[in-house]
Amino acid sequence: MAANAPSATQPNPNPTRAFGRFELRQLLGKSSATMAWLAFDTRSARELVLHMPRVQPTDAPSLENWLHEARMAARLNHPHLAPVAEIGVQDHRPFLAVERSLGLTLSEWLKVHPRPPPAEAVALLYQALEGLAFAHEAGAVHQDLQLHHLFVDELGHLRLAALDIVVEATLADTVFGVLPESAGVARSNPPLATVLDPGHLRIRRDAAERDVLSMGLLLHHLLAGEAALDEADTGLVIARLPPHGRETIRLPWTTPHPIDEALRVIVNRATARQPRQRYLNARTLLRALDGWREAAALDGGGPLALLLDRLGNVGHLPALPGVGALAAALAGLEGEHTTEMTEPILRDMALSFELLRQVNSAQVQGTQVAGNGPVLTIRRTLALVGVNGVRQAASALRAWPGPLNEAGAASLKQLMDRVRLAGHAAQALRPPGYDAEVIYLIALLQNLGRLMIQYHFPQEAAQIAALMQAVPASESDDARELPGMNEESASYAVLGVDAESLGAAVARHWGLSDEVIHMIRRLPANRPVRSPDGDGDLLRMAASAANDAVDAITQLPAARVAAALNAVVQRYSRGLGINLRDLNDALHAARVALQSHAATVPIPPAQLPPHDSVRLPTLSNSPSAGAGAAA
């Protein structure tokens, strides 16, 4: 400190600026809506940080409304919200004070740590999001999240300050532009009338979404090493995004530190052009960052950590209705041909997976078939555990539909039917000499992550599906249809981890070997398909081709199906030796096999290229306990 600098505990005889009893010593930060001053309180002989709105309330009722909102927000108590030392008015200007001992503002901290590693940057903003989510759920908003509202102490503990700092009329102008009288926003009502005003509630809901967008911009700033659009004021940046502006904000590829794809997708979603693609509340962004942090901290074990508690409570999947009767019926078939017993088991995906889990876990522990390869057929599983083992496995399963509501159960059934369809298609595409049951189960397990998300995280599954939908031209800011995210990016954006990694983590938890985990990872869509190096690669390839084809016929608009199936053939023709007729025949055979067991939810008929002999029938709507027995 310079010799003539004032002490933190002594008044300055020549203050920079007087503000009542406060000496304003340094402007710590300002935006178009707020400013933060380092101040010395001559009455208590301590340093404070004063936060003030740049625009003063226009009249006494507006000032009273500001004080009401600020005092209500100041009552909140959370480890990542800065305690409020004082709320007051000086020279007709309201202010909110916090202790300087909370630490440096984030803008000051960045001068000392100009390029924080991604993990450190995320850890800081994660704390801010925890405080923000708590505030939003209590009915408070921030309205102008900036670097000068975040305080970091020497231990890296962060606190968010200055909730409800903006004068509400200014906020309304910022969010909606100039509001007409019919908008119903009471700009100078007393507090009670304002709280009951529907226009007020709408403003605060949109302000909460704006807070989350601002947090995404701050995270972008920390990771990119510079502010988005070269503008540190998040409010001015937001004004340049649709619907008011036409700017696009994405993390640059040249960042101070490498940023993995999962984190890049999360940050880019947080600042997306289209409001419908952004995080609409702080908890969803927190959940995505939490998944990324767990995965990064545990080197791939993070996805499993998200599921461990739920796997223990509700199992991996619920058993279809009638599983108890199935186990009893198998006792009457004991001694019959193995196929007679395996087919009904394969119709229940949860039971099939539970048997594979049990026998492979036991194998890894050395209690069964030590030294042998992984168990990947129900036939071999039956030989190891017998009918009594099947009965025990069935009794360990949660009854359908587990904790899901009616809509969630319908979505899970529909996904299961799609997965079974892929399993049957994989059987038809398998090269000669390969076991039909093995390829069927591999194709199913390639969807393990999808199934886990749909069952354990149904709300997040709905978010992922929404992000994958194209933005219609009517909703696009430049009047053209915009493609949705691919499934991997959408999973990153919602959960912080992709479905493939989640499925592999669960498979590893079950005890499946690295060889099997390699086979149940679908071939990445953005990489070329090479000639298989062995049996495992060939099985993986055939199952991936089947899953890609089923995704095309069940998820794409009819006009795009033909081109997508042609792309599947071109991608896999060399490795599998297939043509378009082979693929059509495989899909036809898969539909017949699935229809023979009356799928629980009808799958849309495939819109295939013209084919002389192949016509795919529409599946029946009749309910059933399931479908999918191996051929």
138-180 residue pLDDT tens: 999 999 999 999 999 999 999 999 999 998 655 444 443 333 3
Q: Quick one: CA dihedral 535, 536, 537, 540, positive or negative?
A: positive
pLDDT per position as a tens digit, 442-472: 999 999 999 999 999 999 999 999 999 887 7
Compute CA 10 distance to the chain's CA centroid, rounded to the nearest angstrom: 51
Question: pLDDT-based confidence at 483, cuts 50/70/90?
Answer: confident
The DSSP H or E segment spanning 104 is: strand 104-105
pLDDT > 80? residue 586: yes
Q: What is the percent of the chain with per-residue pLDDT over 70, rounded to a whole number?
A: 79
Q: Exposure of 180 by Cβ count < 10 A (0-12 exposed, 13-18 middle, 19+ buried)?
A: exposed
Mean pLDDT over 565-581 rounds to: 93
pLDDT per position as a tens digit, 293-314: 877 765 444 445 666 667 777 8
Residue 465: CB atoms within 10 Å: 16
Structure confidence at residue 630 (pLDDT)? 33
Q: Which residues pair with 105 in a beta bridge?
A: 151
Distances (CA, A) of 353 to 303, 393, 516: 19, 10, 14
pLDDT > 90? residue 478: no
Structure confidence at residue 604 (pLDDT)? 46
The DSSP H or E segment spanning 333 is: helix 323-333
Q: Which residue has the tokens 């007679």?
A: 340
> Residues near 495 by Cβ (< 8 Å), separated by ≥ 6?
287, 288, 291, 306, 453, 457, 460, 464, 502
> Residues near 581 by Cβ (< 8 Å), separated by ≥ 6?
611, 614
Structure confidence at residue 167 (pLDDT)? 82
Alpha-carbon distance 36 to 30, whole Å? Answer: 6
Structure confidence at residue 283 (pLDDT)? 94
Q: Kindly report the CA angle at 500 between 469 and 418, in degrees rounded to 5? A: 60
Which of 409-413, 521-525, 604-608 is the least confident region?
604-608
Q: Which of 270, 264, 269, 238 is nearest to 251 (CA)?
A: 264
Alpha-carbon distance 552 to 546, whole Å? Answer: 10
Q: Of 596 and 410, which is predicted with more confidence?
A: 410
Q: Which of 486, 466, 622 is nearest to 551 (CA)?
A: 486
Structure confidence at residue 443 (pLDDT)? 97
Q: How large is the greatest C-alpha to C-alpha distance in the chain, in angstroms?
A: 100
Q: Of 71 and 368, which is predicted with more confidence?
A: 71
Q: Please tell me whether residue 166 adopts helix, strand or coil conformation.
A: coil
Alpha-carbon distance 226 to 206, whole Å? Answer: 27
Query: What spatial distance separates the first Cα and last Cα of the chain, rounded to whole Å?
Result: 81
Does CATH number 1.10.510.10 belong to domain 17-259? Answer: yes
Q: Which of 212, 207, 202 is nearest to 283 (CA)?
A: 212
Q: Of 123 and 628, which is predicted with more confidence?
A: 123
Distances (CA, A) of 194 to 169, 191, 473: 12, 5, 37
Q: Which of 410, 191, 211, 507 is nearest to 219 (CA)?
A: 211
pLDDT per position as a tens digit, 495-505: 888 899 888 88
Residue-averaged pLDDT of the chain = 83
Alpha-carbon distance 50 to 231, whole Å? Answer: 23
Q: Please tell me whether residue 99 adopts helix, strand or coil conformation.
A: strand
Q: Which residues pair with 96 in a beta bridge?
A: 51, 87
Mean pLDDT over 547-572 rounds to: 93
Q: Please tell me whether residue 132 adopts helix, strand or coil conformation.
A: helix
Distances (CA, A) of 361 to 449, 508, 518, 554, 630: 19, 10, 17, 34, 23
Give backbone dihedrals phi and psi of 450, rounded to 5 degrees, phi first. Answer: -60, -45
pLDDT > 70? residue 7: no
Mean pLDDT over 347-364 rounds to: 83
pLDDT > 80? residue 9: no
Q: What is the percent of the chain with per-residue pLDDT over 90, rounded to a whole number?
A: 55
Task: For the chain, give every domain's residue range.
Answer: 17-259, 323-472+482-595
Q: Of 308 and 589, which is predicted with more confidence?
A: 589
Which of 8-17, 58-67, 93-102, 392-401 is the least confident region?
8-17
The DSSP H or E segment spanning 310 is: helix 302-314
Here the contacts of 527-532 (C-beta below 8 Å, separation 24 or greater) are: 529/571, 529/572, 529/574, 529/575, 530/575, 531/574, 531/575, 532/575
Alpha-carbon distance 348 to 112, whole Å? Answer: 59
Structure confidence at residue 109 (pLDDT)? 97
Q: Of 351 and 197, which is predicted with more confidence?
A: 351
Alpha-carbon distance 262 to 563, whole Å? Answer: 29
Question: pLDDT-based confidence at 327, cuts 50/70/90?
Answer: low
Distances (CA, A) of 565 to 423, 437, 619: 17, 25, 20
Structure confidence at residue 631 (pLDDT)? 31
Mean pLDDT over 568-580 rounds to: 93
Alpha-carbon distance 305 to 303, whole Å? Answer: 5
pLDDT > 80? residue 627: no
Mean pLDDT over 481-503 rounds to: 87
pLDDT > 90? residue 276: no
Best-predicted range by mean pLDDT (14-18, 31-35, 188-192): 31-35
Q: Quick one: CA dihedral 430, 434, 440, 445, positive or negative?
A: negative
Q: Which of 480, 484, 483 is nearest to 464 (CA)?
A: 484
CATH value of 323-472+482-595 in 2.60.120.1060, 1.10.3210.10, 1.20.120.450, 1.10.240.10: 1.10.3210.10
Q: Exposure of 224 by Cβ count < 10 A (0-12 exposed, 13-18 middle, 19+ buried)?
A: buried
Q: Which of 619, 466, 624, 434 is nearest to 536 (CA)?
A: 434
> Residues near 315 by Cβ (< 8 Å), separated by ≥ 6?
350, 354, 396, 397, 398, 402
pLDDT > 60? residue 57: yes
pLDDT > 90? residue 615: no
Structure confidence at residue 393 (pLDDT)? 86
pLDDT > 80? residue 200: no
Mean pLDDT over 572-578 rounds to: 92
